[in-house]
Structure 1
Amino acid sequence: MITIDGSQGEGGGQIVRTSLALAAITGTPVTIERIRAKRPKPGLQRQHLVAVQAAARVSGGQVEGAELGSRALTFHPQQPTAGDWHFDIGSAGSCTLVLQTVLPILLHATGGSTVTITGGTHNGMAPPVEFLAESFLPVLHRVGISATVEVQRHGFYPAGGGAIRTTIQPAFGSNSSSVPFELLERGKALDRRAEVLIANLPAHVASREAQALKHGLHWSHSEVDEREVRADGPGNVIIARLRFANVTTVVSAFGELRKAAEQVAQEAVQQIRRHLEAGVPVCEHLADQLLLPLALGAGGRFRTVKPSEHLTTNAAIIARFLGEVVTWEEQGADDWLVTVTGR
C-alpha cells in the first residue's frame, strides 16, 4: 500500500489521476489523503469522482471513499481490462481529464478498447480535445502508442452535454514495440492556424476575437477562421495550431462570462508568443502529459520551457510508484531538458 499526500505540489486533481493510473498498472493499492487540498472546493468533484469510478471499472478494482466531496480514498486495483466503456460525468466537468486517467490503464490491457465520455469537451481548467487529438496522441504514436479521440458533441462550461469517443490499442504487452523517445528540435515551421469556436453567442464575439488575433500576431485572414458549433449552452474557445516538422503545438484560450473578446484573444496571443520565442519543441502543457507514458515505456528526453508545478508534482507522484525516473536540467532561458528513464 502506497499513501499519497494529495496536498503536495500543485495539490490538484492530477495527483489523483496519476496515482489511480499507476496503481492500476502496477497492481499496487493506494490511499490518497487530503485530496485537492489546495483548491477552493477541496475533495472529489464530479469529474474527479467519475475518474475514480472509471479507474476502478477498467481495472476490476474496488475503491473506498468514492463520493462527492471526499477528501480521502483507498483504491485496490486488479487488472486492466479491455472493453467498450462509457462514462457520464453528469456536469460540464472535463471529459479529457477522465480520459487521461483511463488511457494509460487501457494501454496495458490485452485487447483494444473504445471509451465514450460525456460531459465538458472544452473547459478552461483542462486541455481541449484538440490538444489530445493533434498534439499529445500524435507524439505518443512515435513510441508505438495507437489511440485516437474525436469530438462527438461540443460541451462547454457550465452546460456540459458534450461527448468524446476514443479508440485505444494495447501498447505495453509482451509484443510491445515501444522505443525511446527524443524530441529536441521543432523542425521546420509548416503551418499556423487559429480557429474561433462559438456556440449560442452573438457572431460579433467570434469576429472580435478573430480580428484581435490577426492584429496581435500579424496573421493573415486565411490563417484565422470562425466557426459556430452546436452545444447545449453558450461557449467560446480559441484553438490555435502551430505545426512544425516534428511536433504540433495546440494553444487554447477560453471565453467566460464578463470577459471581453479582446481579452480572450490576448491570452492566446501571449501563449503563442511565449512558445515561439522559447524555441523549444514541447510546450508547458504537453511536457507534464508526456512523463507518464514515457516512464511506463522505453523512456526518452525532450526540450521544453521551465517545468511547471504540474510537471514537478507529476514527477513526484511517478517516483512513488516507479522510483526517481524523471530529471530536468536548465539549458538556457526558458529552455530545459527533461529526461525520463523507462521501465
Structure 2
Amino acid sequence: MIEIDGSWGEGGGQILRASLSLATLRGVSVRIRNIRASRPNPGLAPQHLAVLKAFKEIFSGSLQGAYIGSKTVVFTPGEVRGGRYVVDIGTAGSTTLLAHALLPALLRSEKDVQVILRGGTDTRWAPTWIHFSEVFLYTLRRAGYSVEAEVRRRGFYPRGGGEIVVSVNPPHSPRPLSMTSPGEVKEVRVYSYTQGIGRDVAKRMAHSAEEFFKGFNVRSVVEEGRGVSPGAVID
C-alpha cells in the first residue's frame, strides 16, 4: 500500500484526486492522510467525497473513511469497467477537475465508457469548460485517444447545476506528442458566456477581449444560457 501525506505542498484537494488517479492506473492500494490539511476546513468536502465515490463505482474499488470531514481514506482500485455512470457532486464543485482525475484510468478501458458529471463547470481555481474541451481534450485527441465531451448545462457558484458528458470510445492509437514550439498564431478565439445576467454582459466582455487582441485575427463566440446560479466566464 502506498502512503500519501495530503498536507504536502499546497495541501489541497488535488493531492487526493491525483493519488486516486495514479493508484488506479497502477492497480495498487493507497492510503491518504492529512487530507486538505492546509485548508480552513480540512478533511473531505462534498466535492471530494463525490470523487471518492466515483472512483469506487466506476473502477469497482473498495473504500474506507469516506465521509464529510474525514482526514484519512483508504482506496483499493479494481478493474476498469465500461458502461454509463452518473456522478452528482451536489454543489458547485468542479466537474472538470473530477474529469481530469478520472480520465487517465478511463482511457485504459477496453469498453466504451460514458460518465455524466453534475456540478460546477466554470468555477474558481479550476479549469473552465472551454479550457477542458478546447485545450485538454484537444491535446488528448492529438495524442491518439478517442475521447469526446459535451456540456448540457453550465454551472456556477454557489449552486452549480451544470452537467457535462464525457465519453471514452476505444480502441485508441496512442502516439508521441511533441509541443516544443508555440508556432505561429493564426487565430485568437474568444468564448464569452453569461447566464442570468444578460447577453449584453457577454458582448461587452467579448468586445474588451477583441480590443486587447487588436491586430490578430479574432473570432468571438458570444452565448447566453440559463442555469440555477447566475454567472459569467470568458476564455
TM-score by structure 2 length?
Answer: 0.92
Cα separation, 2, equivalents of 1:58 and 1:225: 35
Q: Which amino acid aligns with 1:46?
A: P
CA RMSD for the aligned pairs? Answer: 2.0
Is 1:134 the counterpart of 2:134? The answer is yes
Kept after mapping to 2: 8 A contact 1:91/1:120: yes
Cα separation, 2, equivalents of 1:16 and 1:36: 8
Is 1:193 the counterpart of 2:189? The answer is yes
Residue 217 of structure 1 corresponds to 213
Q: Residues 115-144 of structure 1, C-alpha deviation per residue, up to 9 Å, x if partnerless?
A: 101111111221112112111112112222
Kept after mapping to 2: 8 A contact 1:143/1:178: yes
Residue 120 of structure 1 corresponds to 120
Cα distance, 1:159 vs. partner? 2.0
SS class of match (1:182): coil
SS class of match (2:131): helix
SS class of match (2:178): strand
SS class of match (2:186): strand
Structure 1: any 5+ residue segments left out of the alignment? 240-343
Is 1:65 the counterpart of 2:61? The answer is no
Identity in percent: 39
Cα separation, 1, equivalents of 2:43 and 2:100: 19
Report the CA distance shift for 1:225/1:111 in structure 2 as closer, same or farther (over 3 A): closer
Report the CA distance shift for 1:29/1:222 in structure 2 as closer, same or farther (over 3 A): closer
Mapping for residues 22-171 of structure 1, pairs under 5 Å: 22-170=22-170
Is 1:228 the counterpart of 2:224? The answer is yes
Kept after mapping to 2: 8 A contact 1:213/1:219: no
Residue 315 of structure 1 corresponds to none
Is 1:182 the counterpart of 2:213? The answer is no
Q: Residues 239-283 of structure 1, C-alpha deviation per residue, up to 9 Å, x if partnerless?
A: 2xxxxxxxxxxxxxxxxxxxxxxxxxxxxxxxxxxxxxxxxxxxx
Structure 2: any 5+ residue segments left out of the alignment? none
Residue 14 of structure 1 corresponds to 14
Mapping for residues 292-303 of structure 1, pairs under 5 Å: none
SS class of match (1:86): strand
Q: Which amino acid aligns with 1:156?
A: F
Cα distance, 1:81 vs. partner? 1.1
Cα separation, 1, equivalents of 2:178 and 2:65: 40
Cα distance, 1:225 vs. partner? 4.3
Cα separation, 2, equivalents of 1:170 and 1:15: 28
Cα distance, 1:54 vs. partner? 0.5
Q: Which amino acid aligns with 1:76?
A: T
Cα distance, 1:68 vs. partner? 1.3
4+ runs deviating over 4 angstroms? 219-222
Cα distance, 1:203 vs. partner? 4.4
Kept after mapping to 2: 8 A contact 1:58/1:102: no
Cα separation, 1, equivalents of 2:83 and 2:198: 42
TM-score by structure 1 length?
Answer: 0.64
Q: Which amino acid aligns with 2:138?
A: P
Q: Which amino acid aligns with 1:2?
A: I
